[in-house]
Amino acid sequence: MSVEEPTVEVSVGEGVAPPVRPERLEAVVRHVLLAEGIGRAEISVALLDDGAIAAMNGQYLEHEGPTDVITFAMHEGDEPPLGDVYVGVEQAVRQAAEFGATPEEEVLRVAVHGVLHVLGYQHPEGPERTHSEMFVRQEELLRSFLSGGS
């Protein structure tokens, strides 16, 4: 019997200088999937600059300006998870300073956040979002990864 492995691809947009190696991002995505009991999945993570993520934010979400992460889940029902996670690297780096995190940690955090959205997690908007099940899980997964997950 063979164990199914998730397919994870990380791409770096033109002109983007991520504070984290693509291999480390791939590892954190695999860590989340394993922790959530998922063996079969296809997840792509694209690291974008402010201009590219702002264009997507406007086109798909009708919001203005850059954001930290945009996620598209493309599976239904019991199908294996399939999704794209777009990380706004420059926005994540700005947030890192604001939240007292390193730039690498914040890029990993928003990648975990995006993967959780692909897996169906949701959170409320506003101040209560940081106390939601999704945010608690996000921080647990990030801590376990940073403490030895890879």
pLDDT in single tens digits along all 150 residues of the chain: 445 789 999 999 999 999 999 999 999 999 999 999 999 999 999 999 999 999 999 999 999 999 999 999 999 988 999 999 999 999 999 999 888 999 999 999 999 999 999 999 998 787 787 778 999 999 999 999 999 855
Domain boundaries, the chain: 7-149
Q: Whole-model pTM?
A: 0.93
- Listed in sequence order, the residues at least 6 apart from 46 whose beta carbon sits closer than 8 Å to its beta carbon are 10, 11, 12, 13, 84, 85, 86, 87
Burial class (CB in 10 A: 0-12, 13-18, 19+), 119: buried
CATH fold of 7-149 reads Collagenase (Catalytic Domain) (3.40.390)
